[in-house]
Amino acid sequence: MGALDWEVVDAPEANVHATSPDGRVYVGWLPEDATAWQRDIIWQIRVQPADGEAWIQEFGLYTPTEAVAGFLAALVTHSPADH
């Protein structure tokens, strides 16, 4: 995501947070987030479209990484107006 000019932050506790250049999409890899673990998630994607309601997609520990990668690839290939 860094290659796409996303801001990527590696947190000290091993979580990774990425925000799209326009700030409308957030991707969190949350292996050490207690709140995420309580909800059985490890990935959280939040999208705030220019027009429309915000939405969230979460993936659990046993979701194949390839599935999350495919979801993210599809998400970032669309223009911000499409989100």
Span 5-38, pLDDT tens digits: 899 999 888 899 999 999 999 999 999 988 998 9
- How distant is the alpha carbon of residue 22 from its chain centre? 14
Q: If DSSP codes are grouped into helix, strand and coil, which group holds residue 19?
A: strand
Residue 1, SS3? Answer: coil
Structure tokens at 24: 């409308």
* Cβ atoms of 41 and 30 closer than 8 Å: yes
* Count of other CB atoms within 10 angstroms of residue 32: 13
pTM: 0.84
